[in-house]
Structure formats: structure tokens, C-alpha cells
Structure 1
């Protein structure tokens, strides 16, 4: 009877506040994300603490961290929120023109600089009332946990070995080439393996501590190591850095062609073949079993697939 009485005091809004406060680790940030006033979030947190018999969120230095009990509530609360969304959306049948779903996509801009803009454009054209959240694949992001907890619907990127307990859809494969400035010595002289390895390279900041990325993983398998002298977490800024320096960017041909003047781009850069043979970069979208059967999530994955296919044909 006591459990039933406790359950009767919990509504979906309270669960949403719980999950947001625990993941944001801040009442003020949670209030912004929820579109609520901070005192209202504080009042809800007080109620949640009383119901749980636990502080849930405590101060640690300048910030706040969840208690052990709070940490254990993050995934169940995310599951409840996603289940409620699927329960009512999919029960009615998914209608893009009327849906007010929030679609959450985690991706880097290394796939193609046109990809995310065109994906957002297509989603909003077909589902004008929906909300879209684009999240980065950053050094502190755990995409597997975000998918499992419902913070992200789909993750887009390239991995040598994607997690085998996630669903995976192949988008396309691409050849590995090098992007250099038009004034780079290799444009005139060419280069061999040793010259390429010794050149100054720029690479993206690893998506998590210790990660090497597919280029450096392959080099390591060959017993080789390139001279990385610059890293940048914003892949879209790297071509501009290459154009103004002697740095070398090694990545997919499709990405490089978007910037090269020879292919209609606006930067004074050239695409050179790499003197080391690399396997193709393969780009995927990954999703969790949690959303595998959801009609709205299936629709989102089809939009991702169609945009990737269209860009590949250009």
C-alpha cells in the first residue's frame, strides 16, 4: 500500500525534472533546458528528495554531482520518458507533419560539411513542428550511454569497429586522401611515405581519452606514426587552418572536395593522394535497441540515410 501511495505522487513531469537535473548537474541549467523558472525546478527537486529519501544532487567543489542513488535513477528515468513518448506517438501512428517530437542526433561535422545542414533542412521540411537537438561527438561524450539513456536517438560517425551491441546502418564508404594548401611543397614535388610521415599533420581532437581515430589506428597496425603537430575539436575549421599553413589533413575525399577550388570549393587547397594505402572510411549511423521498433525513430533514420545518399551522388 505504501508503494502505491508513493507511486501516486509521481507524475511524468516530475520524472522529466529528475532526469534533467541529474544529467545537467545544475538546477539553473536544468531550468533553461526545461523552459522553467529556477525556483520551480528547485521546488520540484525538493519534492523529489522527499520522495526518494535522498539528496539526489549534492555540492562538489564549485559544481554539483549526483549521489549514488541519483546515478542509479538516470537510466530508468530516461527509459520512462522515452517509453512515454513512444507510447503516445506510435500508438497514434507517426505523422511527420503533425509530430512535436524532439529528435536528438549526435554527430561530428567530419562526414560532410553539408550533411548536418541538409539533414536539419529535410527534417524541418517534412516535420515542421518537431524540435531538433544536434549534439557533438566530443572528448567527454559517451555515445553508447547517451543512446541507452535516451539522450540521443542516433549517432553518426565512422569507427573501425562500432559497438557490436548497437544496431548499425551503413551510410557510405570513402577513400582516404590528403588536403594541403596550394603552396605546400608536396603539390610541386610530390611525396613518398617518409616525407608524408614527417610532414606536419593536423588531426581532430580524440572523441574520448586514449582514442586514436581510424587513421592513426591503421598506421599503428603498420608500425608507423605520423607527425601530428596540431589538433582541433572543430573539424569544420580545419580546412581553413590547412589553407593558411603547411599542415596536412588526412580524411575522406568527399569532405575534402567540399573545400577544394578544383571541385567548386572556396579555399586555396589541393587534394593529394596519400602515399600510404588506407582502407576506406566507412560512415555509419548507430542506434539502440530501445528505439529500434519506434516509428518516429525509423523515420529519423530514413532521413539520415536519404541525405547521406543524396550527398554521395553530387
Structure 2
């Protein structure tokens, strides 16, 4: 098939359709009518001799052929964007670009308020779409469907670019009327009941049980090394929820210090360092190699790095 017989705009249509998996929503994002989008999908099906997207009980799903095309398509369009990208610096002050950032509850609570404060001053029309780690996979991030992943990672694809934003320790939160506040030691810590918070890695947190020490994360792995185990009574995936739950008498939440200090003005909670050693962890910013040279993306990465330095 000759390229001059193909409408290359259809590749843009396909890219959005595979990401959104919804004709109406894709049409809206591209600024065209739904009939025009439907017609574009029909032409794409003729071009590739494949249905590409099929209706299921849960909406539209990509065929095997479409799944194979998606990373190639992202790479092609990213290369085209680099070719036509203006050589001048990204004008953030007038841009209304949408940046998609995947981050955990911890990253959202500790970094996002500071980032938004800078954006209001320097780029008031830029939009942030915040996703959770369970919304997408590493494969989809690698395809450039997400601008940045900001999280703590056990592993990461070698192709990703990354930057460490900060290191953090752990702190304990519990109610001021908790008797443990007068005798906070490893012994009383182990006797108490605990709130567990997910590591919030990609795909972490499904089917966790108190016996699953290897999947429980840094706090429990640190305890296990010294031959101890805490009594977990509540599992949550949100640090803010953990702090609220810790207000109940008899419960302790051991969470990252930056998340804990957000409760420093809460008169109902006490913040103390853990009575045992827990290794510090790094919060990292990672992105697809497809976005490495995008000037708008470079601006966002530099802004976030600047915010975290401050």
C-alpha cells in the first residue's frame, strides 16, 4: 500500500481511540463530530483489514492487532511531534496543555500542593490529570500515554528515564489519648494494633493479608529482619485515610514522614519516630524515552525538580 493513498491523520485518530476506547470521547478530544470519528474508525478498519476496536460488556476493547500497533503508533507520532516541535522554548504562560501524571496518594499529598502553587503563578491555564498507579501499567507509561510517574519503585523498566526527587524516612501517628504515648518502645509498638498503607507500586496491594510479609512493604520487612511482626488490623491504600484512622484509640499508622508531618497541626494526633530502624526510601520521577526530548515535557520536569529543591 502506497503512503500517498493513506490519510495519515487517521493515525492520530487511532492513537486517541486506543487510549480512550470510546468514540464519543475521542471525537471530543480531537474537536470533531462523533459521525466524523465513526467514519474515521471505519476507514481505519478498512486500512488495516481488522476491526481494531470491538464492543464488549465493559465497553470497547482493542483487538490483538490493535494492541500490537499501539506502541508502534506512539513511537511514530512522538517522532513526528519532535520533527514539527518549535525550536523555541515552551511558552508555559500561554499554554493550556494537559499533563497526565501518575502518582500515589503520598506523592499527590506531599508534592501536588506545592506544584499547583507554582503553576498558578507561571502557567495558570495548564491542566493536570492525576492518575493512580492502578490506572495504567508500565507498558502504557512506556508508550507515552502518561507524561510522568512519580512514586516509590522496587523495579522499573530499564528504558525509562528517571530522577530522584527526595528521600524520606518513616514516622508513627497515633491518638494523643493512646496509652502508648507514655511508653513508646518496640515492645509496646508490637503489642499495639496497626494500620497498614500500601506501597502503592504498580499493581501492588491486591489481595494483601497479614501473612504476606514480602508484599507488605518496607515497615514489615524491617520488622521481619529483627524477627518481629506487627498486628495489622486495618489495610488502606491512602495515607490521608491512615492518618484519620490513627485518631482512633489503640491504633498506630507508620507512614512516610512527609505525609505524617502534614498532620502536625492536628491536636488529636502524636507524631513520633519508629522504635526501630526502617530504611529511607526515594521518591522518583520517571518518564518514557519517547518524551525525553519534548520541550513541553522538559519544562514540566524542570519545574517539578525546582519545586522539590525548594
Find out whether 1:44 has 2:43 as its counterpart: no
Give the match's secondary structure for 1:258. helix
Contact 2:110 2:258 in 1 (8 A): no
Whole-angstrom CA distance in 2 between matches of 1:212 and 1:87:
46
Q: Which residue of 2 aligns with 1:10?
A: 8
Of residues 100-109 and 216-225 in structure 1, the stretch that sits farther from structure 2 once superposed is 216-225
Find out whether 1:58 has 2:21 as its counterpart: no
Find out whether 1:147 has 2:141 as its counterpart: yes
Of residues 187-196 and 272-281 in structure 1, the stretch that sits farther from structure 2 once superposed is 187-196
TM-score relative to the length of structure 1: 0.82
Q: Which runs of 5+ in 2 are unaligned?
A: 207-214
Q: Which residue of 2 aligns with 1:269?
A: 269
Find out whether 1:294 has 2:294 as its counterpart: yes
Whole-angstrom CA distance in 2 between matches of 1:250 and 1:90:
48
- Displacement, 1:222? 5.1
Q: Which residue of 2 aligns with 1:234?
A: 238
Give the match's secondary structure for 2:124. coil
- Displacement, 1:100? 4.4
| Structure 1 residue ranges, 4+ long, deviating more than 6 angstroms after superposition | none
Q: Which residue of 1 aligns with 2:91?
A: 95
Whole-angstrom CA distance in 2 between matches of 1:162 and 1:75:
18
Whole-angstrom CA distance in 1 between matches of 2:80 and 2:230:
49
Find out whether 1:106 has 2:92 as its counterpart: no
How many residues align? The count is 300
Equivalences for residues 1-314 of structure 1 within 5 A:
2-7=1-6, 9-11=7-9, 14-31=10-27, 33-34=29-30, 36-111=32-107, 113-138=109-134, 140-142=135-137, 144-193=138-187, 195-196=189-190, 199-204=193-198, 206-207=200-201, 208-209=203-204, 212-220=216-224, 224-244=228-248, 246-260=250-264, 265-266=265-266, 268-310=268-310
- Displacement, 1:176? 1.2
Describe the shift of the 1:189–1:87 C-alpha distance in structure 2 as closer, same or farther (beyond 3 A). Answer: same
Contact 2:170 2:256 in 1 (8 A): yes
Of residues 157-166 and 50-59 in structure 1, the stretch that sits farther from structure 2 once superposed is 157-166
Contact 1:243 1:267 in 2 (8 A): no
Of residues 72-81 and 26-35 in structure 1, the stretch that sits farther from structure 2 once superposed is 26-35
Contact 1:176 1:274 in 2 (8 A): yes
Contact 1:167 1:289 in 2 (8 A): yes
Q: Alpha-carbon deviations, 1:268-289, whole Å to 9, x = none?
A: 1111221221111221111222
Describe the shift of the 1:223–1:147 C-alpha distance in structure 2 as closer, same or farther (beyond 3 A). Answer: farther
- RMSD value over aligned CA atoms? 2.8
Contact 2:16 2:26 in 1 (8 A): yes
- Displacement, 1:4? 2.0
Whole-angstrom CA distance in 2 between matches of 1:90 and 1:246:
59
Give the match's secondary structure for 2:8. coil
Describe the shift of the 1:18–1:273 C-alpha distance in structure 2 as closer, same or farther (beyond 3 A). Answer: same
Describe the shift of the 1:214–1:40 C-alpha distance in structure 2 as closer, same or farther (beyond 3 A). Answer: farther
Describe the shift of the 1:194–1:99 C-alpha distance in structure 2 as closer, same or farther (beyond 3 A). Answer: same
Q: Which runs of 5+ in 1 are unaligned?
A: none
